[in-house]
Structure 1
């Protein structure tokens, strides 16, 4: 059973972003649990919602953790987030098993991409679903994005991977074969053609950003004048 660890609003304009912190937490948790990957999920950008730069949350996917592991996972993650706390951030943390994600939480995640939600809504939902949720400083508004992240990650068709397999080890120009061996399940063009060979022209020093689509790790690409360009999706 998969356990999801979601964090939101952990940074300010001068600190490392939530994605980097999430990868650090993933590395620590990987000493005791299998970590499949870390996904980034874009939330609603609106003047009524305070955010640092892009209003996104990050979710760690632990595919073989059990519900009884959640207290230990939560405690370890909470401590790392508190140790990394920066003034001006409003962090929130949520940890849940796949079995705790009901249609109500899936809907909450979807709504968080296009509507202004409240802490009260997030906390009530967590209480009703028996999900561990906590604000870790500031206004604690991060509880909203962290709950949304759980729903979006469980739905399996949102966001993009910040980390999965060995993709972060491969930067710049690389072959389709290298990426498929590194943890990407499929490389496809926007019009549905599958790419299994050729050079993928990622920016120098950057790794590609595949997406979770229907339970697959999928890299979307554009073909332009014989060049295969990876698409970075929100």
Structure 2
């Protein structure tokens, strides 16, 4: 069973982004629980939606059983987020196991990528599904994206990994085999060819960003002038 911890609207223009905070919270949770990884999910960019730079949420994936751990996980994440609270941010936090994430929440997550949603809808959905959801400051608009991230993460077909295995330790160009050994399940070109050998080129100071696809960790690459370059997808 997987427990998902989702946070949104945690930053301002002068602070670290939601992704970095999600990784920090994941590191704290990993002291007690087995954390599989952290994913980023793109939400709707629209003039009526306040956001800092890209309007994305971060989801921590924890391997744990049942409902008994949900409150403790929530409290650990909540404390870390409150300790890092930035004036001008509007954070929201939610925690749910996969059994609580029903089709209505998956649909809500998809809607959040193309529609302006409201706090009321997010809070009503959380109440009806028995999901713990809380705004942690500011306008609390982060509850909207926080609920959306739960639905998107469960599909295992959205967003990209900010942390999985040891890939963050590998920056710049790497061999395909090194990346596969670090926690990536497969590498594919965007036109459908499987890659098992050769060099995968990436920015010198960046790690690759694989995607969740059908419960697997897939890195997409494209061939440019005879070289395979890592692709960063939303």
TM-score scaled by length of structure 2: 0.99
Q: CA deviation at 1:100?
A: 0.2
CA distance in 1, matches of 2:60, 2:22: 7
Q: Is the 8 A contact 1:42 1:159 kept in 2?
A: yes
Unaligned segments of structure 2, at least 5 residues: none
Alpha-carbon distance, 1:67 to partner: 1.6
Aligned counterpart, 2:139? 139
| Structure 1 position 64, deviation (Å) | 2.5
TM-superposed deviation, 1:139: 0.3
Q: Identify the residue that residue 155 of structure 2 maps to in structure 1.
A: 155
What aligned pairs does 1:8-27 form with structure 2 within 5 A after superposition?
A: 8-27=8-27
| 3-state DSSP of counterpart to 2:195 | coil
Q: Once superposed, which parts of structure 1, at least 4 consecutive aligned residues long, lie more than 4 Å away?
A: none
> Which residue is 1:211 aligned to?
211
Distance 1:46 1:167 in 2: 32
Q: Which residue of 2 aligns with 1:117?
A: 117
What is the distance in 2 between the residues matched to 1:6 and 1:68? 18
Matching residue of 2:172: 172
Task: State the alpha-carbon separation in 1 of the partners of residues 202 and 36 from structure 2.
Answer: 23
Deviation at 1:65, TM superposition (A): 4.3
Q: Which residue of 2 aligns with 1:48?
A: 48
Unaligned runs of 5+ in 1: none
1:72-111 → structure 2 map (5 Å cutoff): 72-111=72-111
Partner of 1:192: 192
Alignment partners' CA distance in 1, 2:137 and 2:217: 34
Report the 3-state secondary structure (helix = DSSP H, G, I; strand = E; otherwise coil) of the residue aligned with 1:36: strand
User: Partner of 1:71 in structure 2?
Assistant: 71
For 2:4, what is the secondary structure of its paired residue?
Answer: strand
Aligned length: 234
How far does residue 171 in structure 1 lie from its aligned partner after superposition? 0.5
CA distance in 1: counterparts of 2:87 and 2:206, whole angstroms: 29
Q: Contact 1:221/1:231 (CA < 8 Å) preserved in 2?
A: yes
CA contact (8 A) 1:33 1:65 kept: no
The whole-number CA distance in structure 1 between the counterparts of 2:31 and 2:79 is 16
Give yes or no for contact 1:92–1:134 (8 Å, CA) kept in 2.
yes
Is contact 1:189–1:222 with CA below 8 Å preserved after alignment? Answer: yes
Name the CA distance, whole Å, in 1 between partners of 2:65 and 2:174: 33
Give me the TM-score of the superposition, normalised by structure 1. Answer: 0.99
Secondary structure of the 1:31 match is coil
Is 1:28 equivalent to 2:28 in the alignment?
Answer: yes
